[in-house]
Structure 1
């Protein structure tokens, strides 16, 4: 990694930055210091970045980007920071896509609750020729996602779940990925301050049992998926059994995958050739 290009004042030496970050509770103080030193354009800029980070602002918001699936994704203040564990959601989607891709047309991908658009951008980067759409209810997230998806030709819409999507997508979606909020309401207060103070509540709070948004997504999914298309969501291991039931009642064939490496659980639901009627309420 590159280092700061010019001598630093004593108060902003590398060791001082590390010490300041460590005192603020940053577990990976050395790594974070290297990133801040490389990103700062002046001693004053570095000092401001260190103050923000030591004050509890997520590192990704300070830097303006997050590393996700081997790429840098822009992450603006107030936008949900993509988690590394969500790379498992991307990997599961890619595995399903590789088994169903056809030369007849581009793969149609929709990223709901897209936040920064990191999941959709990662899928497009690997799959290549895709028709990519994304949506989020948060205006700041939509602005950020438009920047991240511009390079891959993705369209981003502002609104609640399926509501802003073009009607022409009904019955055409091959991969529907939704990084839904799944923290139960009473547990939001237990999240690290970086999350609960700097990320939108709508991106964290999944309702009483954490599955409210997942239910809404699955209830409508069969109408939007192409025959053989897949819905993928991230959830917790303890919620997986109830989530599987939700998928089944929505007419989808569920599969559960877990990863010890990412500490992640992903449920994928496939629309049969003849969709079943949704019965989930």
Structure 2
């Protein structure tokens, strides 16, 4: 087992990738933190501002592990359940059919080097006969960081890297943020019924692979927190019948002066793709 190499992957950002939101949060602590964003994003003009403020608020339910989204933002109106977290030292993770993870030799054959100089438009790598999606690790959001993993009611998966004073609120805002202007990425097939997500710096299996944990519902972390003391595991995620996902990426996005996130969505692809 090895630890991920301390590599900061600072990809070149697209010029229009940074949001100009300046939200402020309000609400009453009733056990469920309800709040509304009171600034409008790009595309919401001042004339529509009153209607924007009247939209349904989202509610954060940390006790159940769920982040509920009230505003209709397409896919992002899902209820999201926290199922795990991954630690990055700046490197990215591979998301690949678990049956093919042994084909990745990030450590043994130095395949990790394939991920170091990628541009922001490059979202996947061929691994053996399969395609792997590149998820997690935006060195502009944070250098060393947790990436939180959520499963949506639609079967979608969201990996979120966040920074801010109110960690749960930033996670909720990231999951609510519309995906219509996200970067379209690669499509991956998961015929085995299990998706493996692990650091690109390690092998996918064998002596030089990190351990794996099964994804399971849990509490939404209240704060970012330090890294674990041991070797950080990858995740094995049951796809519940989904056999293909399409990746969508939103790089560094600023919510206010102290809050920012990056997000990687794996969206189920319908049969007959």
After TM superposition, the score normalised by the length of structure 1 is 0.29
